[in-house]
Structure 1
Amino acid sequence: MELQTERRDGILTIVIRGRLDGYGAGKLSDAVQASLQDDDRSVVFDLAGLNYLSSAGIRVLIAVKKQLKERSGILALAGMQDYPKSVLDMAGVTPIFSIYPGIEEAVAACRRPQDSLSVIGEISRTPVVRNGVAYIAEQVSTKRASLRVAGSLDDVLHARLTEDDIRAIPFSAIRYSLGLGALGGGVADALPLLGEMITLHGSVVWLPTDGNETPDFFTPVKDTGELYVYSGYNVALDGPFHEIVTVDAGDGGSITLSELYRSVFDFARERRCDFSGIVAIAMWAVVDGVCSTGVKKSPIAASAPANGLAINAEENVREWFAEDDEPKYRGDTMVGFGFGIDCSACTGEQIAALIDPAHAGGEQVQIHNHGVVFRGVPWDATLDLSRQIEKIVSDGEFVDMRHLKDSTGIRRAKLGVAYISGIDVELY
């Protein structure tokens, strides 16, 4: 059997030629799972070249159909020959399938349910479209939101952390945050392994600086008060989201993380007279490629650069940071948290605790985001953001966690946007 995977008008199409027998059924099942992305709803099987079908093949067809039904989509069978059609008839399953004479009709049928369930169709508010990307914002709160900063970014950047600088944070005290942290039996265990960390609804995901480049995570069922997150620097959201913003770049479209923040800032300047220049964003997204960076060593005093410069100085970057500009995880799900600063609207005093002063005079928009990648989570923009993030981190198929570069691509996203009115710094 031969398989060819392609996309027609944004619809995953798999061309099947030859025999869909026991061996071919396994190949087809693997091909579907490898190609199906989290924002795919429907799939077309082009069967014009299929000359044999057995019960093993039928079982795969039924399994894929059930999988797509959970996404409110369909499996469309196109151009079926007489013999395979007779096999379906004799098995008594023909009525459960959507069968079309040709590939064009099948693709058109798949687009109809996908369009009706799109962001634009499901949410009644009129979208704002900019550069081909549609945005829909819904106000959900007017209460104050602030960022709580624990620790010194300057101490991190100059690798001055000691045990006295590490804070033990109860799981119950963190909802959305990011920074540098670790899990362990105590401060002494955590200190040499401090790495990029994110918390989402009490779940902690972090990248230990042990040289293995493998993230670790923990999701407590309840907080017994016996375990802590150890952090040398942490930025947490205090307060609610003010808006839920749905973003859709369309089939084949994409927007970078920095472009996404710029759009949020543009809307804030237009609509909010109280905009201070700082936003915090929690995100559920389908990504078009994750680009990442991150510390390779714990920035403790014993490892400080011999040249006395910051770890992100040009002379030290290669030793201290892992960079990956090759986009990964296209079509997978990502949940994340971060903040953005419009430097043109902020004073240096406001943002000193959040960004490196050496870079404050560079790009107008400065962003800092961590993301956790999961696989096999169907996209549905109608779901509640907070509940979905909590469900994904508890039950999703975990893939990776990274500090996101600004060039990370986003296809579709649901954002919880908090407009920050204050920064509370806790030094210890």
Structure 2
Amino acid sequence: MDIKTERRDGILTFAIRGRLDGYGAGQLADAVEASLQADDRSVVFDLAGMSYLSSAGIRILIATKKRLKERGGTLALAGIQDYPKSVLDMAGVTPIFSLYPDLEVAVAACRRSKDSLSVINDLVRAPVVRDGVAYTVEPASTRSSSLLVTGDLDKMLHARLTESDIRAIPFSALPYSLGLGALGENVADALPLLGEMITLHGSVVWLPTDGNATPDFFTPVKDAGKPCIYTGYNVTLYGPFHEIITIDAGDEGGIALSDIYRTIFDFARERKRDFSGVVALAMWAVVDGVCSLGVKRSPIAASSPANGLPINAEENAKEWLEENDEPKYRGETMVSFGFGIDYSACSGEHLSALTDRNRPKTQQLQLHNHGVIFRGVPWDASLDLTRQIERIVTGAEFVDMRHLKDNTRIRRAKVGVAYISEIAV
């Protein structure tokens, strides 16, 4: 059997030629698993070239239909021939499928269904469209939010951390946070493994600097105080999100993380928001490509650069930082947390606790974001952001965790935005 996979007008299609028997059913199941992305709602099976169908093939059709139904979508069968159609009839399952005469009609029907869902959502909350990207903004809270900074950014960047700089923090104290951390029996155990870290509702994901480039994670059922999180630098959000923004950048290309921040800062200026020039974002997204950056070695005093320059200086970057501009995980789910600084709107005390003093003076934005990649999570913009993040981090299939570069691209997202009024150290 031969399977050709492509997208037509944003709808995933599979053209099947030959016999959909026991062996072919396995091939089709693998093809669906490899191609179905988090924001796919509907699929078309083009059966014009399928000559044979058995119960094994029918099981795959039914399993795919059930999977799509959970997403509020559908499976369309196009161009089915007489013999396979008679097999469906004899099995008594023809009525459960949507049958269309050819591929074009099936794609158009799925497209109409997709557009109808968008219209319903648009009627509830009218989106703002900028540069082809739709932003739907919902107010959330009016209470103030702050960032608490633990540790010394300059010491971290110059690899001068010692045991006395490490803080032990209980899981429950870090609802949304990111920084440099590790898990271990004690400080001495954790210190040489300090790496990129993110916490999300009591779950911690971190990238140990042991040379294996493999993230680790832990979700406690309850916080008993031990084990705890050891951190050399951490930024934690305290307070609510002021807005929930749903972003739709379409099916192709997505929008850069930096452009999302620029738009949010533009919204803040237009609404005359009273804040320090800093925003914190928690995001549930479908990515169009993750580009990453991260420390390869724990920035401890015993291994600080001999030239006295920070680890992100050009002379030291290759030795200390792992950088990947090759986009990964297209169509997968990401949960992230981070913050952005707009230097044109900056005010407030302690901004230096977040600021890399070696940044180029012409740099308007400084972003710091970590993201966790998950698989098998359908996209549904109607779901509550906080509850969905909790469900994902405790139950979804974990794939990877990385420090996000600003050119990471987002296809769709639901974003909690906190306008920061205070930075505490």
What TM-score do the two structures reach when normalised by structure 1? Answer: 0.97
Task: Please give the residue correspondences for 1:15-414 in structure 2 after superposition, counting only pairs within 5 Å.
Answer: 15-118=15-118, 121=121, 124-347=124-347, 350-359=350-359, 361-414=361-414
Residue type matched to 2:121 in 1? G
- Distance in 1 separating the partners of 2:274 and 2:120: 29
CA RMSD of aligned residues (A): 1.2
Q: Deviations over 1:126-162 (max 9, x none)?
A: 1100000000111110001010000000000011100
Q: Offset of 1:362 from its aligned partner?
A: 3.2
Q: Is the 8 A contact 2:375 2:396 kept in 1?
A: yes
Q: Offset of 1:111 from its aligned partner?
A: 1.6
Q: Offset of 1:172 from its aligned partner?
A: 1.0
Q: Offset of 1:217 from its aligned partner?
A: 0.2
Stretches of structure 2 lacking an aligned partner (at least 5 in a row): none
Q: Is the 8 A contact 2:277 2:347 kept in 1?
A: no
- Distance in 1 separating the partners of 2:250 and 2:356: 35
Q: Offset of 1:252 from its aligned partner?
A: 2.1
Q: Deviations over 1:38-66 (max 9, x none)?
A: 00001000011001111110010000011
The answer to whether the aligner puts 1:417 opposite 2:421 as a matched pair is: no
Cα pair distance change 1:424/1:413, threshold 3 Å: same
Q: Is the 8 A contact 1:119 1:381 kept in 2?
A: no
Cα pair distance change 1:360/1:141, threshold 3 Å: farther
- Distance in 1 separating the partners of 2:356 and 2:224: 36
Stretches of structure 1 lacking an aligned partner (at least 5 in a row): none
Q: Offset of 1:348 from its aligned partner?
A: 8.9
Residue type matched to 1:235 in 2? V
- Distance in 1 separating the partners of 2:214 and 2:120: 38
Moved more, 207-216 or 344-353: 344-353
Q: Offset of 1:404 from its aligned partner?
A: 0.1
Residue type matched to 1:39 in 2? D
Q: Offset of 1:360 from its aligned partner?
A: 5.6
Cα pair distance change 1:418/1:6, threshold 3 Å: same
Would you identify which runs of 4 or more consecutive aligned residues in structure 1 move more than 3 Å? 347-350
Q: Is the 8 A contact 1:269 1:275 kept in 2?
A: no
- Distance in 1 separating the partners of 2:271 and 2:55: 59
Q: Is the 8 A contact 2:348 2:422 kept in 1?
A: no
- Distance in 2 separating the partners of 1:340 and 1:310: 21
Q: Offset of 1:118 from its aligned partner?
A: 3.3
Cα pair distance change 1:348/1:324, threshold 3 Å: farther
- Distance in 2 separating the partners of 1:187 and 1:120: 53
Q: Is the 8 A contact 1:343 1:360 kept in 2?
A: no
Moved more, 313-322 or 114-123: 114-123
- Paired residues in the alignment total 425
Q: Offset of 1:347 from its aligned partner?
A: 4.7
Q: Is the 8 A contact 1:198 1:206 kept in 2?
A: yes
